[in-house]
Amino acid sequence: EKGGYDYFMLKEIAEQPKAVADTLLGRIDGAGSLRLDEVRIPDSVLREVDKIVVVACGTAFHAGMIAKLAIEHWTRIPCETELASEFRYRDPILDSRTLVIAISQSGETMDTLMALRHAREQGAKVLAVCNTNGSTIPRESDAVLYTHAGPEVAVASTKAFLTQLVACYLVALYLAQVRGAKWGDEVRGVVRELSEISGEVERVLETMEPVRELARSLADKNTVLFLGRHVGYPVALEGALKLKELAYMHAEGFAAGELKHGPIALIEHDVPVVVVVPSPRGRSVLHEKIVSNIQEIRARGARTIVIAEEGDESVVPYADHLIWIPATPTLLQPLVSTVPLQVFACELATARGNEVDQPRNLAKSVTVE
Ligand code: M6R
């Protein structure tokens, strides 16, 4: 059952390296090319796609926000990510050259189902990224790429999220491959690192004790804020969502660049602020900007909890708490940066005496609109 863990959530967090590896299994060949034969949308159709729309809810939506960045970067196809519950109510522009990607762990989320039905009625092709074999969303889609997370029981999504990311990276890279996009060193390097990433997730899990300790020390706080940029922004949103649903705390994620447009007014003495720092390699301008954000909020009294790449000494002087994560290619960082936030929320919920696997007012799959 819970395999010796107190909660399903803890078990599912621990299963992430395997879930990630299983989702990659058989999908990258020895030469580093992608094989997604199960996606039964012909390559000729994929080559004609001129727009991609990702629809999803909650945690799956955060995976979708990261998917957008990966898809646009590797394929140069314009991509937008939209909350499934908003999608069909705004008369979206869709036609037969639009690819809609519907992400859902359960495959039964009504908002996502209604969005994909609407997309198909307009002639768009729908690809589901789903964790549940034979569920409604894949059955009603043109194709499906299954995530192989195994059953996820805890209401808070953890391993499903990581595998949704993996599946979306695979879709993005596959689209780049069939469209003959420049398969340069960068992409080759990403495929290689993706195929080895489960070991890095494992390494992160081995270093989580200080994160648990930190979470316990914050159990009487009212608010935790999360900041990130680029792929770190959806990670910040995901960290905040986990904390809301599990710890019943006020938690908000912001794009760090928005701080000065309002949220910085929230910073006061001892407010915990988690900052997800991008790799100092990759997009180094973003890195510099985040480091100055950390300085700014710390000068205003925030308690800074900094998630940064191992060896990134530039953040050390401004961090009240440091959580190191392994170096990864920029777009893959969420696979390692999300894990401490899951552990953090789970431990805070426990410290506050909450029911971790079954938070109040929530259901595992939301089958009403
Ligand atoms: O089954 P789905 O992936 O479609 O579910 C979507 C959301 O309801 C789900 O991710 C929800 O936000 C989680 N409880 C978050 O932990």
Q: What is the reported pLDDT for 238? A: 98
Write down the ipTM of this complex: 0.98
CA of 57 to the centre of ligand 1 (A): 6
Which ligand 1 atom lies nearest to the CA of residue 59? 10
Q: How many whole angstroms from 334 Cα to the centroid of ligand 1?
A: 17
Residue 206, pLDDT score = 98
Let me know if 364 is a catalytic residue: yes
Ligand 1: residues within 6 Å at CB? Answer: 57-60, 104-106, 109, 112, 155-157, 241, 245, 365-366
Global pTM reads: 0.97
Distance 155 CA to ligand 1 centre (A): 8
Q: How far is CA 312 from CA 137, 143, 202, 281, 294, in A?
A: 42, 42, 20, 10, 14
Task: Quote the ligand 1 centre to 12 CA distance (angstroms).
Answer: 15
Return d(Cα 78, Cα 103) in angstroms, integer. 18
Query: 111: which residues sit within 8 A by CB, 6+ positions away?
Result: 57, 83, 84, 85, 366, 369
The pLDDT tens digits for 253-283 are: 999 999 999 999 999 999 999 999 999 987 7
Ligand 1 centre distance from Cα of residue 119 (Å): 21
Atom of ligand 1 nearest to the CA of 106: 1
Which of 57, 66, 365 for mutating ligand 1's site (highest number of atoms within 8 Å of CB)? Answer: 57
- Among residues 277, 310, 279, 280, the alpha carbon closest in space to that of 295 is found at 277
pLDDT value for 282: 73
Residue nearest to atom 12 of ligand 1 (CA): 58
- Percentage of the chain beyond pLDDT 70 is 99
Q: Token pair 């971790």 is at which residue?
A: 356
Closest ligand 1 atom, residue 365 Cα: 1
Identify the residue whose C-alpha is closest to ligand 1 atom 7. 58
Low-confidence ranges of the chain (pLDDT < 70): 183
Token pair listed for 14: 């621990």
Retrieve residue 191's tokens.
């495929």
- pLDDT (tens digit, 9 = 90+) per residue, 103-122? 999 999 999 999 999 999 99
Q: Which protein residue has the closest C-alpha to ligand 1 atom 8?
A: 58
Question: In 3D, which of 161, 303, 300 has the Cα closest to residue 238?
Answer: 161
How far apart are the CA of 111 and the centre of ligand 1, in A? 11
Would you state the pLDDT for residue 87? 95
Give, for ligand 1, the residue of 59, 82, 141 to mutate: max count of ligand atoms closer than 8 Å to Cβ: 59
